[in-house]
Structure 1
Amino acid sequence: MIEIDRLTKRYGGATVVDDLSFTVAPGRVTGFLGPNGAGKSTTLRILVGLARATSGSATIDGRQYADLPDPLRQVGALLEATPVQRGRTAYRYLLALAQTHGIAPGRVDQVLARVGLTSAAGRQAAEFSLGMRQRLGIAAVLLGEPRTLILDEPTNGLDPAGVHWLRNLLREQAAEGRTVLVSSHLISEMALTADQLVVVGRGRLLADLPMAEFTSGHASLEAAYLRLTGDAVEFSGGSR
């Protein structure tokens, strides 16, 4: 389980995450939504130990990420700017991760097949399209068979077939009892993927509801989302 408890993050005089609290339970896909600048990526960075909270806590199974004894086996994380060693082949990149975390080399072949990159295993990541790099990042997420998956904009660069594949993958992972947290701006895709929605605006919690309850009384998820976040949009284009 993921627990965000009164989390606050300030950069100078700017409060990016403001006393934010919510939980992400296993067995379902939780969509993490909000306008640009809402604090989603900062929250995820704190959750996986890439940034430090000003106050409050962000824990996975009751521990901060830095305190997890075997993080790759417990948490698979794909953030928007997750680096890939572009000079290595896809296979060698994953093999290095496996060797440093005590994972059997055979698992590399399994995850390459799972993400559809078997035929590209011997190619350098520098030769990959954005969508292929995204698939490689997802392979790294799955490598340790973690119980918790955290993904920030995972559909970025994927074609429609890839988006459909990812949707099914995430739902399968949740059905197997894993905790799945997905941040995305693709509202239409979240409508097809998520069971639970956590929506933030200006760093604060706006909603934490099951999909059916969130959309009740609205024509679509998009309509419900836009109505809820209308006063929380940080950056918007003006009319001419």
Structure 2
Amino acid sequence: MIEVCDLTKRHGSTPAVDALSFRAEPGRVTGFLGPNGAGKSTTLRMLLALDRPDRGHALIDGRSYVRMRDPLRTVGALLDASSVHGGRTARAHLRTLARTHRIPDGRVDEVIGLTGLDGVAGRRAGTFSLGMRQRLGIAAALLGDPAVLLLDEPVNGLDPEGIVWIRTLMRELAAEGRTVLVSSHLMSEAVLTVDQVVVIGHGRLLAEGDVAEIVRTYAGPAGSLEEAYLRLTSGGAR
């Protein structure tokens, strides 16, 4: 379970996240939707204790990230796939993470296979395409076999085959009872992947609920998630 309550973060006089509250539940893929600059990445960073909120709290299974003894075994996250040291091979990067978190080396080979990196695991990450770096970031997120996944725009840089792969993976992880929170501004992808949505704009909650409920409320019986999203984020919702 992910619980965000009254979460607030300002950059100078500008609110990045403004009294935001929502929940993401086990067994479901929750789409965290909003335009670029809406506050999605800042919220994810506060969930991972990379930014400190000015007010409110962000909890995972009732605890803040900093209070977790083995955080990688509880929460897996993909925020910035380009943050990997370019001189390390994919396998060396994952082994370093595994040993730091007391995860067996055998798990490294498992996530390499799961993410389709078998043929490039010995290559340096600096030679990877964006799509390959995304796969490596997802492998790192899965390394601790966590119950909660936080994925920030995971389809960036992936080819059509890769997009279908990550979409299927997220659905499978949720079906296993995990909590999957995925941020996106691509409605065409979200409608094929998510069970429920949290829509934000200018750091504030605009709508929260099952996809069908959001579409029905904001776009009508014959509407689409894209229409509902555009109405919400353009300020046209009542």
- TM tier relative to shorter chain: over 0.9
The correspondence of residues 197-236 of structure 1 with structure 2, limited to 5 A, is 197-216=197-216, 217=220, 218-231=222-235
Aligned-partner Cα distance in 2 for 1:80–1:29: 20
Asked whether the 8 Å contact 1:3–1:58 carries over to 2, the reply is yes
- 3-state SS of paired residue (1:109): helix
Asked whether the 8 Å contact 1:8–1:54 carries over to 2, the reply is yes
Q: Structure 1, residues 164-191: CA drift from partner, whole Å, max 9, x if none?
A: 0000000000000001000011110100
Asked whether the 8 Å contact 1:80–1:153 carries over to 2, the reply is no
What is the match of residue 151 of structure 1? 151
Aligned-partner Cα distance in 1 for 2:235–2:213: 21
The correspondence of residues 1-240 of structure 1 with structure 2, limited to 5 A, is 1-80=1-80, 83-216=83-216, 217=220, 218-231=222-235
Structure 1 stretches of 4+ moved >4 Å: none
Q: CA RMSD in A?
A: 1.1
TM-score scaled to structure 2, two decimals?
Answer: 0.95
Distance change (3 Å), C-alpha of 1:179 and 1:82: farther
- 3-state SS of paired residue (1:85): coil
Aligned-partner Cα distance in 1 for 2:36–2:91: 35
Q: State the 1:77 CA deviation.
A: 0.5
Q: Structure 1, residues 115-138: CA drift from partner, whole Å, max 9, x if none?
A: 000111110001110000000000
Q: State the 1:200 CA deviation.
A: 0.5
Q: Which runs of 5+ in 1 are unaligned?
A: 233-240
- 3-state SS of paired residue (2:149): strand
Q: State the 1:81 CA deviation.
A: 5.6
Q: Structure 1, residues 81-134: CA drift from partner, whole Å, max 9, x if none?
A: 661121111111101111111111011111000000011111000111000000
TM-score scaled to structure 1, two decimals?
Answer: 0.94
Percent of counterpart pairs with the same letter? 63
Aligned-partner Cα distance in 1 for 2:123–2:71: 27
Q: State the 1:36 CA deviation.
A: 1.9
Aligned-partner Cα distance in 2 for 1:21–1:178: 21
Aligned-partner Cα distance in 2 for 1:110–1:40: 30
Amino acid at match of 2:234: G
Aligned-partner Cα distance in 2 for 1:36–1:143: 29
Asked whether the 8 Å contact 2:98–2:104 carries over to 1, the reply is yes
Corresponding pairs, count = 232
Q: State the 1:219 CA deviation.
A: 2.6
Asked whether the 8 Å contact 1:29–1:182 carries over to 2, the reply is yes
- 3-state SS of paired residue (1:87): coil
Aligned-partner Cα distance in 2 for 1:58–1:12: 21
Aligned-partner Cα distance in 1 for 2:229–2:128: 34
Distance change (3 Å), C-alpha of 1:25 and 1:140: same
Amino acid at match of 2:212: A
